[in-house]
Amino acid sequence: MIDLQIAEKINTTAKLQLIDITGRTVYIENVTVTNGTLQKKVSISSMLSSGIYMVKIIANDKSYLSKLIYEK
């Protein structure tokens, strides 16, 4: 589950990316930010290997990054 609270109470479409440790984007989706809140359940492909990924969300020309540890 991805949960992001933005200080500005914006309504926009954001880009959500999941990036592996080599810098390759392995998942991308457009998501909705409503009143500064983004909540999205993400189904990760069973083909992805266990490891550390970066979650990158781009909304209104700002990037938000977080580390995700995925275990099968």
Class at the top of the CATH hierarchy for domain 2-70: mainly beta
Q: What pLDDT shows up at residue 24?
A: 95
Per residue, the 3-state secondary structure of the chain, as one string, reads CEEEECCCCCCEEEEEEEECCCCCEEEEEEEEEECCEEEECCCCCCCCCCEEEEEEEEECCEEEEEEEEECC
Q: What pLDDT shows up at residue 45?
A: 74
Q: What pLDDT shows up at residue 13?
A: 94
Q: What pLDDT shows up at residue 17?
A: 95
Q: What pLDDT shows up at residue 57?
A: 94
**pLDDT tens sequence across 14-72:** 999 999 999 999 999 999 999 999 998 888 777 888 999 999 999 988 999 999 998 88
pTM of the model: 0.82
